[in-house]
A and B are shown apart, each in its own frame.
Chain A
Amino acid sequence: MELLDRKNVKILEGADDWKDAIRKSVMPLEANGYVKAEYKEAIISGIEELGPYIIIAPSIALPHARPEQGVVESQIAITLFRNEVQFDKEDSTARLFVTLAASDSNSHLDALMEISEILQDEEKVEQILKSEDEETLYRFFH
């Protein structure tokens, strides 16, 4: 996938809470200059306001905010947490965080379409969640 750089794919043990998980999952994008520091806080504010709407399917979150909330260049980061991250709502948990930074309303749509195709396949999602290392995880999306 064009918008996914290998160095933005991470496997982590867990997070202190969902906010920590969001910050950790945005970190590769921030460290590599794709988003500004304010981007992760914009995502967190959105979830505080609207609830965990970024959980798009069981175990899968798609953290994202708007282009003007700190995106420098379109890019995707993928973080897999070994332990479930609990959001402030019953039954709202996620392990796979597909973090999206979109610099405008269109440039990321092809990538999203590809991601959606991959995540529609429940068996594949099971395998993705079992990825033992980052290289394996990356290959599912590459």
Chain B
Amino acid sequence: MAAIKKILCFCGSGLGTSFLMEMNAKKALNSLGVTGVEVDHTTIDDIVPGAADLFICGADLLPNAEKAGKAIGLNNMVSLDEMTEKLKAALE
């Protein structure tokens, strides 16, 4: 599997929830000791194959993300624990 170099967090509008997920993804990567991964946030309209190596979104939008590639869906978007756990699994 190709290494994950770019992660895109997204929500419906690209400025609320997606930003919260970006912050937590960065914190989670730090705590996992992972470096050299770019994390950004955007709107669902930008989710196309190749836009990132990993997509992160709310569980509701996961089917949209999976069409574009490897993806994580979160039940609680402010939970750092859930983000860390799921990111860890995705990076293994």
Contacts and interface: CB of A to CB of B under 8 A. Distances in A.
Interface string B16-33: 110110011000000000
B46 interface: no
B39 interface: no
B19 A51 contact: no
Interface string B43-57: 110000000000001
Contacts of B4: none
Contacts of A57: 76-79
A66 B15 contact: yes
Contact of A120 (B19, B61, B78): B78
A49 B80 CA distance: 28
B69 interface: no
Nearest to B21: A56
A112 B20 contact: yes
A50 B61 contact: yes
Chain A, interface size category, equals 20 to 34
Contacts, number: 67
Interface residues of B, number: 22
B79 A116 contact: no
A62 interface: yes
Interface string A104-125: 0100110011001001100000
Given A56-B58, A120-B80, A100 B16 contact: yes
Contacts of A62: 16-17, 20
A97 to B, nearest CB: 13
Contacts of A67: 15
Interface of A: 46-47, 49-58, 60, 62, 64-67, 89, 100, 102, 105, 108-109, 112-113, 116, 119-120
Per CB-CB distance, the 8 closest pairs between chain A and chain B, nearest first, are A56-B77, A64-B16, A51-B60, A57-B76, A119-B78, A53-B60, A50-B12, A46-B12
Interface of B: 11-17, 19-20, 23-24, 43-44, 57-58, 60-61, 76-80
